[in-house]
Structure 1
């Protein structure tokens, strides 16, 4: 793979990531509610799912997953329901008379934050098909497959991680500057972002049928 091909690939994924999706909205929500450092676990979960999806694409499992329409539907709608539940719970817990809004909240476990990121990304298992279609555009048949595949995969994960971190830092910066009852609206906005992420996943499911 030449440097020119790699730069074209980077430009392509930057263009694809320019519009916020479910993972970016989830990162906004968790970073605003729990702080940027803890929300990095959400990023790690998202990128873990991406790595597994890319590996599946590299191993030639795209056709198998594409053929499992029932399994795809179950996984995707389970992810949608999970995000809606999280969003509604966050909104319901944001009460103006809640004294905890002015103090430190019990920390959500890193495992739960990781699982949220993982499930949000894994709820779109057709990403395997996407990677299986994207990567061949930049892989040369005259060179070894796996080194090129590794470069493409690592590049995607790094760029995606940078995007998610940027969203998270922005949300955390804003949240820290709101005190008292103003944080209620941060909590509600975070829940709204979560529900919006679920709606986007649901719309993708409906339009891909």
Structure 2
């Protein structure tokens, strides 16, 4: 596989799994959609997050992410935009915690907006830009083939693992909420996710 050793790929996959299991904006967004609406909304949110990460990977391959990371003004603008988006998302969620179920998000249970919001949640996270720039190249081996092809492969594996974890979370949480959850449980999860969004936004703004 492009000359990359099995040990390198195994270490890379292990690192990805650990990172994917660490709570962050993407995971909280998928969980919020799944518990507030349904499993379908959680799955669509996961697809949106994965699409955002695919854009980050493409930017790394094209060299754009390095340019953004090297520009303090541009990076700061993205950081503030991401922080504002997370805080607004959290405040809106707090304001609407009393409304759960499909009616709260329209006829399709919120899935129509889940993809777009998942995409924005990932794209407006400047830490994902730095992560992509700093993390992926560590596993590139100059003697293993074209660097761009290696980055594309590593990036595709990253997106695949992220999508698998987020889909499992979204589908599992959505089905659990539908089968065992009551309105009080759903509201508690809503509030937890909403507070987490605001806290993550404040932390991002603080640098």
- Normalization by structure 1: what TM-score? 0.82
1:154 corresponds in structure 2 to 156
- Aligned residue for 1:81, secondary structure, equals helix
Distance 1:175 1:2 in 2: 42
Q: Identify if the C-alpha distance between structure 1 residues 204 and 81 changes in structure 2 by more than 3 Å, giving closer, same or farther.
A: closer
Q: Identify if the C-alpha distance between structure 1 residues 61 and 82 changes in structure 2 by more than 3 Å, giving closer, same or farther.
A: closer
Range with greater deviation from structure 2 (110-119 or 153-162): 110-119
How far does the alpha carbon of each residue in 1:131-186 deviate from its partner, in whole angstroms, 9 at most, with x for none? 2222222111121223322220111011111111222133213311356xx41441
Instruction: Give the CA deviation at 1:111.
Output: 4.2
Structure 1 residue ranges without an equivalent (≥5): none
How far does the alpha carbon of each residue in 1:13-68 deviate from its partner, in whole angstroms, 9 at most, with x for none? 11222211111011110011121112222112111111111111122223320233
Indicate conservation of the 8 Å contact 1:66/1:126, yes or no. no
Query: What's the Cα RMSD here?
Result: 2.4
Indicate conservation of the 8 Å contact 1:42/1:117, yes or no. yes
Distance 1:191 1:82 in 2: 17
Distance 1:10 1:130 in 2: 15
Q: Identify if the C-alpha distance between structure 1 residues 54 and 202 changes in structure 2 by more than 3 Å, giving closer, same or farther.
A: farther
- Superposed, 1:48-127 pairs within 5 Å as 48-95=51-98, 104-105=102-103, 106=106, 107-108=108-109, 110-127=111-128
1:166 corresponds in structure 2 to 168
- Normalization by structure 2: what TM-score? 0.83
1:25 corresponds in structure 2 to 28
Structure 2 residue ranges without an equivalent (≥5): none
Distance 2:41 2:58 in 1: 27
Indicate conservation of the 8 Å contact 2:46/2:170, yes or no. no
1:12 corresponds in structure 2 to 15
- Aligned residue for 1:161, secondary structure, equals helix
Size of the aligned set, in residue pairs, is 200
